[in-house]
Amino acid sequence: MDCGVKAFFLYEQYRMISNIRKFPSKAFYENRLVDAKSVEQRPFPQYLSNFENKNVLFLDLKFSKESVADHSYFNKAEIK
């Protein structure tokens, strides 16, 4: 942007549940990030039922490290 390149923002997201999407929408997208219809129609994941309609907390794990196994990323500090 400092070099004159126009910013292009994501408008519609397809992966996050709404509870999680609200934070990046507010923090980075000026509240313009919306859920795709497929996300709106998806049932709330049963394994997250304790968090439905509750606030979400994001933790910055400065000393954690991602590892790769079988083409998949994981982070033991985040798991704990």
| pTM, rounded to two decimals | 0.56
Q: Domain residue spans in the chain?
A: 12-79
Q: pLDDT tens digits for 26-74?
A: 998 999 999 999 998 988 888 877 776 777 777 777 777 788 888 788 8
25: how many CB neighbours lie within 10 A of its CB?
19
Q: Which residue has the tokens 């992966």?
A: 15
Integer-rounded Cα radius of gyration of the chain: 16
Q: pLDDT tens digits for 5-25?
A: 988 888 999 988 888 899 899
pLDDT of amino acid 41: 92
Sign of CA dihedral 31, 53, 57, 16: negative
Residue 80: band (very low, low, confident or very high) from pLDDT cuts 50, 70, 90? confident
Non-local CB neighbours of 38 within 8 Å, separated by 6+ positions: 14
